[in-house]
Amino acid sequence: MRTSRPSIARRALGAAASALIALGLFTACGAGGDDEAEGDVNTAENFDFQCPEREDAERAPDEEANENTPFVFGSPGNPSSMDPVFASDGETFRVTRQVFDTLLKHDCTEIVPGLAESYEQNETGTEWTFHLREGVTFHDGTPLDGAAVCANFDRWYNFTGGYQSPNYTYYYSSFFGGFKENDPDMGIEAESNYAGCEADGLTATVKIHEYTANFPGAFSMATTAIVSPASLAQITDDQVKTADDPLPEYTQTAGVLAGTGPYKFVDWDHSAQSLTLERFDDYWGEPAKVKTLIFRTISDETARRQALEAGDIQGYDLVAPADVVPLQEAGFQVPTRGVFNILYMTYNQLDERLADHTVREALSYAVNRQRLVNSVLPPGGTVATQFMPPSLDGWSEDVVKYEYDPDKAEELLAEAGQEDMTIKFCYPTDVSRPYMPAPKDIFDIIAADLEAVGVTVEATPITWVEYIPATRSGDCPLYLLGWTGDFNEAYNFLGTWFSTETTEWGFDNQAIFDGLAEAAAEPDPAVRAEHWTELNEMIMEELPGLPISHSPPSIAFAPEIYPMDVSPLTQEDFSDLYFAAE
């Protein structure tokens, strides 16, 4: 058994080198971009992926401002729940990570101790023992110990009714399978992989029946953050009877649940779309530098930029690529995260035309992904060749790449009898995502490429709140979507989409399904990586969709702010930023 298990994937990550160097906050080695719309320069094979290192000198803090002036951050969307186990969205996790700590966390993409100062696993990967830090208290004064940790895991395992719905406990069921007693109405068929939790003072041992590649990454997820058992005693987990029931009122109220993080909840004003946190003075680590932190939802990117320029907020996320340089020239700071995401176009094989491999090949050859990267994405964006970033063990140089060839696309469409093909193509509106900064622009470029080879595209814009249900239902033959990795493991990408037949993809390839199950159960990282390499090649031969790009999302700050380190996993620690003295 080993303590503080090292990262099971390469430490390298995609950095937006040119943007970072121009800013002067971070440095990274990388190949230069190409201003031309053609060419094959910004590809994964040619880019040196590194977690960026800061070069700017630490600035003296403005103590008065840090105590008396709130730091206001413009978030693209509203949080969904103040109970992190019921969330699966980044905007909720952005907030809850400041309040609730996890057993493990990330340094860049490497898994490192969190509430556990060290941890170990048995040889089969079925017992994970966490040695907790001494002297940690929750915001309500309850001490952290092994029993508190086990109380959380046991609570999740015993969820019933609507609490088991993927609408609310998507991540828990992804990591641990089913529950103590699966509700047949919730569609959970897998047996629970959770085998119990044993506490002994400051030690907690979490047991699972069978190892999967979700571990230890699952212990770093915001959804498995540890909540005070005393605060949990104030609530009952019996209010959500069906998958359509709303979450309990306490999840929409700040301050009911207590964590151990550097901030505690103070207020959630739903009408103003504003959530206020305040520094927790008894935090076990280094105290937050700014006393008051406010997350204000501003869904429109232009409005977020204007609010920053007006001084109404001091930072915001998902900066439009076209705004990066103008903001920098105006004195704002725009650090760019490393690349740990994927944008793809799905070929849903429930449409019988897309069940024809020749048609899927044709559409793939029709898309000029390099032009899209150079035209829409920020510096450091790269063409994707498979469904995970090159920083992960198991990425393959030998996949079929489907490089841009419109003549070949036309030939294959004619061969398939689809030279006059008309197809519905869905894309999201009123949203920007780390992997998809400008959905309409991306759609327009791809649609134009498809039209150029004879395909008639039926443009289908769908609001974000309705988009995921539409894509999951199989209603969109072609659609754009993506993923930002939760932790440094290939299964977090490949297993998310291709572990079983779904209406999202509509393909049935048992060899891929079985291969993913075998790889996920392999506890040896080196052997598992060999499986991932082979599976990446199999998946790209099957071609369930077209990997398009890896994009480095930017985050902006006012000149008077000394920013925290940015995270390729979008897991920023806001307790590290502060107002700097001039």
> What is the CATH number for 320?
3.40.190.10
Mean pLDDT of the chain: 90
96-120: average pLDDT: 95
Q: Quick one: pLDDT at residue 473? A: 87
Say if residue 474 is in the same domain as residue 559: no
With a pLDDT cut of 90, the percent of the chain lying above it is 79
The region that residue 161 occupies, defined by phi over 0 for left and psi between -120 and 50 for alpha, beta otherwise, is: left
Which one of 261, 291, 326 terminates a domain?
A: 261
Which one of 261, 293, 328 terminates a domain?
A: 261
In a domain, 167, yes or no: yes
Say if residue 294 is in the same domain as residue 311: yes
In a domain, 561, yes or no: yes
In a domain, 132, yes or no: yes
Check which CATH number belongs to the domain holding 36 and give it: 3.10.105.10
Number of domains within the chain: 3
Say if residue 568 is in the same domain as residue 501: no
Q: Which domain holds residue 156?
A: 77-261
Please give the single-letter amino acid code of residue 514: D
Q: How far apart are CA 406 and CA 428, in angstroms?
A: 26
451-460: average pLDDT: 98
Q: Which segment, 22-26, 196-200, 241-245, 389-393, is predicted with the most confidence on average?
A: 196-200
Say if residue 95 is in the same domain as residue 149: yes
Say if residue 226 is in the same domain as residue 92: yes
Say if residue 322 is in the same domain as residue 397: no
Mind listing the pLDDT tens digit for each residue in 354-383? Answer: 999 999 999 999 999 999 999 999 888 999
Q: Quick one: pLDDT at residue 190? A: 87
374-402: average pLDDT: 94
Q: Which contacts qualify for 401-404: CB closer than 8 Å, 24 or more apart? A: 401/540, 402/361, 402/364, 402/365, 402/540, 402/543, 402/546, 403/40, 403/365, 404/365, 404/366, 404/367, 404/368, 404/369, 404/370, 404/371
- The contacts of residue 206 (CB under 8 Å, 6+ apart) are 127, 128, 130, 149, 150, 153, 194, 197, 219
Q: Quick one: pLDDT at residue 125? A: 93
Measured CA to CA in angstroms, residue 346 lies from 300, 349, 411, 497, 524 at distances of 26, 9, 22, 11, 31
Tell me which DSSP letter residue 43 carries.
B
Tell me which DSSP letter residue 477 carries.
S
In a domain, 431, yes or no: yes
In a domain, 1, yes or no: no
Q: Which residue has the tokens 């696993």?
A: 121
Q: How far apart are CA 411 and CA 419, in angstroms?
A: 9
Judge whether residue 25 has pLDDT over 70: no
Say if residue 93 is in the same domain as residue 196: yes
Q: Assign 187 a pLDDT band (cuts: 50, 70, 90).
A: confident
Say if residue 257 is in the same domain as residue 129: yes
CB 277 within 8 A of CB 96: no
Say if residue 467 is in the same domain as residue 506: yes
574-582: average pLDDT: 95
In a domain, 138, yes or no: yes
In a domain, 404, yes or no: yes
Check which CATH number belongs to the domain holding 152 and give it: 3.90.76.10
CB atoms within 10 A of CB 510: 9
Q: Quick one: pLDDT at residue 49? A: 52
Say if residue 32 is in the same domain as residue 103: no
Say if residue 317 is in the same domain as residue 349: no
In a domain, 12, yes or no: no
Say if residue 560 is in the same domain as residue 542: no
Which one of 226, 261, 296 terminates a domain?
A: 261
84-108: average pLDDT: 95
Q: Assign 55 a pLDDT band (cuts: 50, 70, 90).
A: confident
pTM of the model: 0.85
Q: Quick one: pLDDT at residue 50? A: 54
Q: Quick one: pLDDT at residue 17? A: 35
